[in-house]
Amino acid sequence: MTRVVLDANVLAPAFANPAAAAGGLIARWRKGAFELVVSVPILTGLRRTFQDPYLRPPRDPRASRGRLGAPSGQGPRRPPDRVRRRRRHPS
């Protein structure tokens, strides 16, 4: 059987959202397609990743709006109609 090592950066999104691309790897592992190999540093990194507020589910679904860049109680921000461009200083 094939032995596979997945980094915490792959495992975290896979467990957090099974519908994500990495979630397919976890589904295949659970079906016995390969043997998942982990180490203490990987598990430590996974624990640290799940403690990050970015990955923790919000207590109130409306609270996630702030993390997506929109002020609470408003929809997504719309880009400005006109974007100012910086001019490069001639060197």
d(CA 30, CA 23): 11
| pLDDT for the residue numbered 89 | 64
- Give residue-wise pLDDT tens across range 11-65: 988 888 888 888 899 899 999 999 999 999 999 998 888 887 776 655 555 554 5
Query: Are residues 56 and 49 in contact, defined by beta-carbon separation less than 8 angstroms?
Result: no
The answer for residues whose C-beta is within 8 angstroms of residue 89's C-beta and 6 or more apart is: none
69 vs 2 pLDDT, higher one = 2
- Give residue-wise pLDDT tens across range 56-91: 655 555 554 544 444 555 545 555 566 556 666 665
Bridge partners (DSSP) of residue 8 are none
Asked whether the whole model's pTM tops 0.75, one would answer no
